[in-house]
Amino acid sequence: MKRLYFFFDIDETLAVGIPGHQYVPESALYTLRQLEERGHFIAIATGRSYMRAIDYMKSMGFHNMVSDGGYALTVNDELLYCHPLDHDDCIAFLEECIEKDMTWAVTTDMSGARYTPDMKFIHYSENFPYMQGVLKEDLNIYEEENIYKIYVACPVGQEETLETLKKLPYGRFNDRYIYIQPDDKAGGIRAMVDHMGGNYEDVVVFGDHVNDISMFCDEWTNIAVGNAVEELKQKATYVTQDAADDGIYYACVHFGWIDDDFKR
């Protein structure tokens, strides 16, 4: 069997359960090991920042990762690069947020911290652990060389009033805030495969949410877990069972990439 290049999203694809108490099904861990034993390449492909994904990568036995929505590459446990968002577009967007008195935070370094210039963002995000910020009263956006992510308190619908947001990739996971982050997982996957000397036609991706649409491309095999959003299922080559119900395992058995010998 020729070498394939597998890329897995983390949240609700590999890791399932309540945020903060997620776990990886035993069948998925078994599948990863079986794929490696057969000589295939496995990697994570996530929108998470490098610092928020590296522990998951290590705990699941991965050594390669596309993170930061495709803007960062980790190969053999070494971070090769992490590109920031377009600086001018970020500044224009933050200026509009300031003008409209919308509270915000930014990630400007590789620590994974979300810096904010006042307590409004801290108070707003205190019930959302993912959104906890670090107060930096002297934060000056014009002096920040790199901006990797932006977080803005924004009720549903208000984002439509932000003209400068049209130039930036963004999304939302709840009705309290939006996040601005890279959205080019496919670009990161291509860069990884190029680095490894592989072919795009030998790529297999697994995902579940709208931020995975960017990596579902016609040139390779796209697998949506059963709990995926409908938009992703419509673009999928194959829809497997829910991630929590051995979806990754059954997909790999279906295509003959591993044998059906997992003992429950």
Confidence check: pLDDT of 264 > 80? no
| C-beta separation of 114 from 95 below 8 A | no
Q: Which two tokens stand for residue 57?
A: 């990568």
Domains and CATH numbers, the chain: 5-83+184-254 (3.40.50.1000), 87-180 (3.30.1240.10)
For 209-256, the pLDDT digits (tens) are 988 999 999 999 999 999 999 999 999 999 999 999 999 999 999 999
Predicted local confidence at residue 132, as pLDDT: 67
Full strand arrangement of the beta sheet holding 134-135:
134-135, 115-116, 104-107, 149-153, 177-180, 170-171
H or E segment and range at residue 43: strand 41-45
For 229-238, the pLDDT digits (tens) are 999 999 999 9
Cα 147-167-170 angle, rounded to 5 deg: 65
Which has the minimum average pLDDT: 14-28, 127-141, 185-199, 235-249? Answer: 127-141
3-state SS assignment for residue 132: coil
For 149-180, the pLDDT digits (tens) are 999 999 899 999 999 999 999 988 788 889 99
For 37-52, the pLDDT digits (tens) are 999 999 999 998 898 8
Predicted local confidence at residue 21, as pLDDT: 78
Confidence check: pLDDT of 1 > 80? no
pTM greater than 0.85: yes
